[in-house]
Structure 1
Amino acid sequence: MWQDVRALNATANGLIALVVLACVASGVWWVSQRPMFTLRSVRVESIYDIELKRVSALTLRAGVIGKFKGNFFTTNLEQVRTAFESVPWVRRATVRREWPDQLIVSIEEHEPLGTWGEDGRLLSVKGDVFTANLAEADDDHPLPAFDGPEGSEKEVLARFGQLRAWFAPVALTPESLSLSSRYAWTVKLDNGMLVALGREQDHDSTHDTMRERVQRLVKVYPQLAARVPEIETIDMRYQNGLALAARGIKISKDGKLLPQPVAKVLASASSATRVPQAALPAKPNTKASTQH
């Protein structure tokens, strides 16, 4: 080998290159550690150039302090992003460096739509479930209540939007919506009425069973509301009819008044759009149910 001039030259050139690279790396490291590159500030702004409503500088400082370190060159931007996204009300964050000593953090806030479940969590308008101070969420208006199996958040959100449009012709607005573990839907309206809509049986986009049930209710609701005050619950899980419970009526299967506080009456599909005369209220404090 020592007699091979070409091999010796190649080895020498390789060693020189390594030394040069080591010197360059050491120089870069030395420069990067200079005080001028110490992070002086972290600027927070909104991703959409709108004022942040619920994320304050104090909240951010308390939430991210101690979760990342380094200077302009060595700070791990992924760690910074994760730290900011762990702060309540922060949905998404992006981080970039700004020469020579600043980080720019752009934040997207959660926009609450309602509560989720019974553990105090919130559902955003984009279908994200998150944890934050509930008192900060309902400062403008009461929040609708949502519930459903894990992973059904976006499905519940989409159905809520549909129900709002479907009930609009009778000036009713959903206040809560729940999807049971058996995937049965129940909606509470702003007049206090609870409507059981049951399970979605047909997933064909051309045949929406839920929509048909709501449309059937909307069609007869003005007549029901005019004749049966204070309706408490309506069960739409019947193919051609409905069942309801309301205060102020006492009726039997043959239309006669009953002494019991709660009674039921059945009607054929052909009479689903009218209420028997016997169902008219006798006393406002009594309670009964009718089924169509």
Structure 2
Amino acid sequence: MPIGLTVFFIVLTLLAFGAYKAYEWLQDEQRLPVQNIVFTGQLHMLDSMTLEALIRDRHQGSFFAIDVNHVHNLVEQQPWVYSASIRKRWPSSLYIHIVEQEAVARWNDDLLLNQYADSFAGKLTTDEQADSQLPVLFGPGGSEGTALKGYQHMSSLLKNSSADHSIAQLVLSERFAWTVQLKSNITLYLGREEYIKRLQRFIDVYPLLKEEKKAINYVDLRYDTGLAVGWGESDPTSQAETENNINN
């Protein structure tokens, strides 16, 4: 074998061995560990120490070995994370910017809704639930956007009225009929159609109802004109329940 070819194979072998040792050295967490994981963004429901422990447990390895795409997927799997961006910073830091979910309503008891009507499995502690002013929305799967938009429209109308009412709970049935429970414990049956006009009818007639000096159990507005009122002293399950029809 010519000397030149022998030298070539020797050099090639040395280069391959050197590349392997360099790779092995770069993968060694003991030599090049990720020393700092820095979180940025406004974190209220997330704990940075818990997130860091999760990342280090799932992604052990050196600064060069850690896969930012895998870290990104792991972080965005956490319920209270709306979005995240990850970048490495030489020589040993990982920077993670998080946009946290903003809960605007509770959804079907076991989920939360953000401002974009996306549901997520964020949990509230017992104390947080007690202090929370979040409305409770119920509806069939896939109706999150409809329910949230309806809540927002109705809340805006009530807020701009002279009556001091706000929504505690909203139910959208399988047939997309609206039922609203106010924080004053009045239940409004709005039906499927023209629910905003029907809610306005309640606002308009409420001063007359208030003059009765009796607690209102419910107001049924599922009429083309008029409404029915169930007074608080009545049994709402009774067929003999008192109803007052107030015609336009």
The TM-score by the shorter chain falls in which range? 0.7 to 0.9
- The residue type paired with residue 92 of structure 1 is S
Equivalent pairs counted in the alignment come to 231
Contact persistence 1:36–1:101 (CA under 8 A): no
- Who is 2:36 aligned against? 41
- Who is 1:125 aligned against? 115
1:217 to 189, 194, 202: 202
Is 1:188 aligned to 2:173, yes or no? no
- The residue type paired with residue 95 of structure 2 is I
Q: Distance in 1 between matches of 2:143 and 2:220?
A: 23
The 5-angstrom pairing of residues 170-209 of structure 1 reads 170-200=163-193, 209=194
Is 1:29 aligned to 2:4, yes or no? no
Q: Which has the larger radius of gyration?
A: 1
- Who is 1:145 aligned against? 136
RMSD of aligned residue pairs (Cα, Å): 3.0
CA offsets per residue over residues 224-275 of structure 1, 9 Å max, x none?
122262111111111112122112479xxxxxxxxx962445x4xxx525xx
- Who is 1:81 aligned against? 72
Q: Distance in 2 between matches of 1:157 and 1:150?
A: 13
Q: Distance in 1 between matches of 2:89 and 2:128?
A: 34
CA offsets per residue over residues 170-203 of structure 1, 9 Å max, x none?
2211111121111111111111011111114xxx
Contact persistence 1:236–1:242 (CA under 8 A): yes
Q: Shift of residue 98 of structure 1?
A: 0.8
Q: TM-score if structure 2 supplies the norm length? A: 0.79
Q: Distance in 2 between matches of 1:28 and 1:210?
A: 69
Contact persistence 1:177–1:187 (CA under 8 A): yes
Q: Which aligned segments of 4 or more residues in structure 1 are displaced greater than 6 angstroms?
A: none
Percent identity over the alignment is: 28
Question: Greater shift after overlay, 219-228 or 62-71?
Answer: 62-71
Gaps of 5+ in 2: none
Q: TM-score if structure 1 supplies the norm length? A: 0.68
Identify if the C-alpha distance between structure 1 residues 180 and 87 changes in structure 2 by more than 3 Å, giving closer, same or farther. Answer: same
Q: Shift of residue 36 of structure 1?
A: 4.8
Q: Distance in 1 between matches of 2:55 and 2:44?
A: 19
Q: Distance in 2 between matches of 1:69 and 1:195?
A: 56
- Who is 2:247 aligned against? 272
- The residue type paired with residue 44 of structure 1 is F
- Who is 2:45 aligned against? 54
Q: Shift of residue 128 of structure 1?
A: 2.7
1:227 to 212, 219, 235: 212
- For residue 222 of structure 1, give the secondary structure of its aligned residue in structure 2: helix
Contact persistence 1:178–1:187 (CA under 8 A): yes
- Who is 1:134 aligned against? 124
